[in-house]
């Protein structure tokens, strides 16, 4: 079975890579909040996605991250790449 990441992994990567804006609580349910609503711009999403890619040794094209709007979508994209890697390995 392929490894998967959790929403906690996404939140940690957001905190480590881009910090957290004042008034934003990543400890609440953020699955469907937009990155914009959480105070993250496209560069922060890219940095977070690349961080998670490196940590999990998967290759995800940078352009994939430009279309993501929510942490849930980022989670799903990384897990999809992990599953594909597991299927190939």
Burial class for 56, CB neighbours closer than 10 Å (0-12, 13-18, 19+): middle
Residue 26 lies in a domain: no
Domain of 57, CATH number, reads 1.10.1200.10
Structural domain count, the chain? 1
11-47 pLDDT per residue, tens: 999 999 888 877 788 888 788 899 999 999 999 999 9
The three-state secondary structure class of 89 is coil
Residue 51 · residue 21 · CB < 8 Å? no
- Positive or negative: CA dihedral 18, 39, 66, 2: positive
DSSP output for 17-56: HH---TT--TTS--TTS-TTTTT--HHHHHHHHHHHHHHT
Residue 25 lies in a domain: no
The pTM (predicted TM-score) of the whole model is: 0.89
pLDDT of residue 14: 93
Residue 78 lies in a domain: yes
61-88 pLDDT per residue, tens: 999 999 999 999 999 999 999 999 886 5
């Amino acid at each position: 079975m392929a490894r998967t990441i959790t929403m906690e992994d996404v939140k940690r990567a957001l905190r480590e890579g881009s910090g957290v804006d004042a008034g934003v609580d990543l400890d609440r349910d953020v699955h469907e909040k937009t990155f914009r609503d959480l105070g993250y711009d496209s560069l922060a999403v890219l940095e977070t996605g690349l961080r998670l890619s490196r940590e999990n040794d998967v290759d995800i094209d940078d352009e994939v991250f430009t279309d993501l709007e929510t942490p849930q979508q980022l989670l799903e994209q990384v897990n999809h790449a992990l599953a594909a890697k597991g299927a190939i390995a």
